Structure 1
Amino acid sequence: MANEWIAKGYAVRKVLKILEISPSTYYYQYKKEEKSVSEGRPIPGYSLTKNGKKIPDEQIQEWLMELISGEAGVYGYRKLCLRLRSEYALQINKKKVYRLCKELDILQPQREVKFHYPRKLARNRIITESNQLWEADIKYGYIEGEERFFFILSLIDVYDRSIIDYHIGLHCTGHDAGQLVQRALFKRQQFERETKPVIRTDNGPQFISLAFQKACETFHIEHERIPPRTPNMNAHIESFHRLLEYECLRRFAFHSYADAYHEVAEYMDFYNNRRIHSSILDLAPNEFYQRNQTEELTIKEVRL
């Protein structure tokens, strides 16, 4: 009743006096009605190491997948929390580890189905030309002005060193990874080829997802994953991401996502078209790839 009169323009104190309601009672009820349900403290999206470095939740989830793929596969979230603290110097509590494990569907009762499809381990290969083996991985950048991370998913040809395509975004899912592979197949005109490139990745959540599995099946490409703690088997994309870190990400304090997107896209263009590589005859990756289509350029075979 009081709110109806007040909404019509009557003075609050006058209405309360007529209805014999104390101001304290009215304002208490008003605030109670207007107060929305508390959502709690917002999730920051990262955890800190002992030296203060911010580690995004997605990287922590990748570490969790590596842990349960190895000898820690019998552990529950509490012991996984201890391993994260000891091996990665993370300042993280068991409640957060529980949440991350639940998002990955790897809590103890469901561990027998932790992978959506059987893992095909990477094997030793000898690469003698382009479009035989592509490696994919994710790099995390940080936007200081917005205090959040962004994702850079890159796909490299291990023979000609080209970044065939990439994804930059504030999120990165298995669907995004599948679309990246599709674009790369179009760019390299591989859809009609009987033998398509093999895609090699680590065990990140995006690459073990059902969406990425379906994409690989749809495009009829072989997807293999490296064993945990063997980044040397993904050496070329790891090497590229080190260059991206030192030559781009560390040089800028990004104020916005648009700022970060612009600088990373500029670096991708520089890397592909102007940055020379001694392993490909001191040519830029795209130049080497284009010339190798019409000339016989001889370089060392790639063993990995």
Structure 2
Amino acid sequence: MEIAQKYIVQGHSISFVLRVLEVERSTYYAHVNRRQQVQETILRIGRPAPGLSYTQDGKPVSDEQICEWIMEFLAGEGAAYGYRKLTVLLRRRHKLKINKKKVYRLCKLMDVLRPQRKIKIKHPKRLANNRVITDSNQLWEVDIKYGWIQGEQRFFFLMCIIDVFDRAIVAYHIGLTCEAKHLVQITQEALMKRQLFDQEDKPVLRSDNGPQFISHRFEEACTEFGMVHERIPPNTPNKNAHIESYHAIIELECYQRHEFESYPQAYEIVSQFIQDYNRIRIHGSIYDLSPYEYREAVKQGMVKPKQVKV
């Protein structure tokens, strides 16, 4: 069939060539159609890769050599580079005229492409606003305080959520570690204690910029709980004044009065102090009542609520 095509290309008539070579017309045209289909398929797929590139002075360089250079880069200075930076190295070190698409294809062929970076969901930072608090469960503050266990020569952590209006410690965590998961846990516990978990209106939770409070895990939990989390600007503890005041109280009236010999002892004493603080300890700023007494008195209309400006 190739011989017939040769003579036809030279200008001889198709009928004459086929008669001389004793080739049926149907056979010839079937061959021509198949060949045309193959060419159309090639055009649809695109032209095959040439298998080489050229330097700036026109010298050909095989793809195998380029792959070898890429592997040398990845074993040395380009270990952390992706295909785009590898393209830059090939152009600078070996004067290649090559684009990043070809380097991408070669890297993919060798299975050395760097994994794509995952885009982390960023939660916008909400700064603490000036507020006037007129009732419980409008604004909570949260912070962490360290304690020292003398007998074990190590620290423990106390993380508390305080209601700014009634001064009660709504929920707390005492432990040898203090992580975002503990913050999520006590936030959920606080909502349940105040029977707010299924309510639409929830307190604003205010914190500083500690690692637990800026974690993705906590921000995701706040979104799930339907809470607003706001953070005070750096170096402004006065905007978290109520939890800071509570920390001064527990330092003076609990930590300095006890020398903890073990973690279980510290846990028991601090837990008991928090319970007494909520139920018994009187506060001069809330009619010399304890937090629980003041909250109940306001609810019963026995005292006038005191507005809190923060």
Paired amino acid for 2:251:
E
Match of 1:151 among 141, 146, 157: 157
1:272 equivalenced with 2:301 (yes/no): no
Deviation at 1:290, TM superposition (A): 2.3
1:133 equivalenced with 2:139 (yes/no): yes
Cross-structure match for 2:39: none
1:263 equivalenced with 2:269 (yes/no): yes
Q: Distance in 2 between matches of 1:252 and 1:258?
A: 13
Cross-structure match for 2:78: none
Match of 2:130 among 109, 124, 128: 124
Cross-structure match for 1:167: 173
Q: Look up the SS of the partner of 1:199 in the other structure.
A: strand
Contact 1:135 1:234 (C-alpha < 8 Å) held by counterparts: yes
Cross-structure match for 1:30: none
Paired amino acid for 1:147:
Q
Q: Look up the SS of the partner of 2:140 in the other structure.
A: strand
Contact 1:134 1:157 (C-alpha < 8 Å) held by counterparts: yes
Cross-structure match for 1:86: none
Contact 2:172 2:186 (C-alpha < 8 Å) held by counterparts: yes
Q: Distance in 2 between matches of 1:160 and 1:247?
A: 20
Deviation at 1:293, TM superposition (A): 2.3
Cross-structure match for 1:176: 182
Deviation at 1:203, TM superposition (A): 0.3
Deviation at 1:262, TM superposition (A): 0.8
1:217 equivalenced with 2:235 (yes/no): no
Q: Look up the SS of the partner of 2:141 in the other structure.
A: strand
1:185 equivalenced with 2:187 (yes/no): no
Q: Distance in 1 between matches of 2:271 and 2:140?
A: 20
Paired amino acid for 2:150:
E
Alignment of 1:101-120 (within 5 A): 116-120=122-126
Q: Distance in 1 between matches of 2:214 and 2:227?
A: 15
Cross-structure match for 2:38: none
Deviation at 1:114, TM superposition (A): 11
Cross-structure match for 1:201: 207
Paired amino acid for 1:261:
Y
Q: Distance in 1 between matches of 2:274 and 2:238?
A: 23
Which structure has the larger Rg over C-alpha atoms?
A: 2
Deviation at 1:270, TM superposition (A): 1.2
Match of 2:237 among 218, 223, 231: 231
Paired amino acid for 2:257:
R
Q: Identity percentage over the alignment? A: 53
Contact 1:152 1:168 (C-alpha < 8 Å) held by counterparts: yes
Query: For residues 115 and 145 of structure 1, do their structure 2 counterparts lie closer, same or farther at Cα, with a shift above 3 Å needed?
Result: farther
Q: Deviations over 1:159-189 (max 9, x none)?
A: 0000011100001111100110100001111
Contact 1:175 1:212 (C-alpha < 8 Å) held by counterparts: yes
Cross-structure match for 1:45: none
Q: Distance in 1 between matches of 2:122 and 2:210?
A: 13
Contact 1:116 1:209 (C-alpha < 8 Å) held by counterparts: no
Q: Deviations over 1:108-158 (max 9, x none)?
A: xxxxx9995221100100000100000000000011111111100000000
Alignment of 1:246-261 (within 5 A): 246-261=252-267
Paired amino acid for 1:205:
P
Contact 1:131 1:196 (C-alpha < 8 Å) held by counterparts: yes
Contact 2:127 2:232 (C-alpha < 8 Å) held by counterparts: yes
Number of corresponding residues: 192
Moved over 4 A (4+): 113-116
Contact 2:204 2:229 (C-alpha < 8 Å) held by counterparts: yes
Q: Distance in 2 between matches of 1:122 and 1:153?
A: 20
Contact 1:164 1:184 (C-alpha < 8 Å) held by counterparts: yes
Q: Look up the SS of the partner of 2:269 in the other structure.
A: helix
CA-based RMSD: 1.6
* Runs (5+) with no aligned partner, structure 2: 1-118
After TM superposition, the score normalised by the length of structure 2 is: 0.60
After TM superposition, the score normalised by the length of structure 1 is: 0.61
Paired amino acid for 1:169:
G
Contact 2:142 2:159 (C-alpha < 8 Å) held by counterparts: yes
Q: Deviations over 1:44-88 (max 9, x none)?
A: xxxxxxxxxxxxxxxxxxxxxxxxxxxxxxxxxxxxxxxxxxxxx
Cross-structure match for 1:79: none
Q: Look up the SS of the partner of 2:300 in the other structure.
A: coil
Q: Look up the SS of the partner of 1:134 in the other structure.
A: strand
Cross-structure match for 2:306: 300
Q: Distance in 1 between matches of 2:186 and 2:149?
A: 23
Deviation at 1:296, TM superposition (A): 5.0
Query: For residues 238 and 260 of structure 1, do their structure 2 counterparts lie closer, same or farther at Cα, with a shift above 3 Å needed?
Result: same
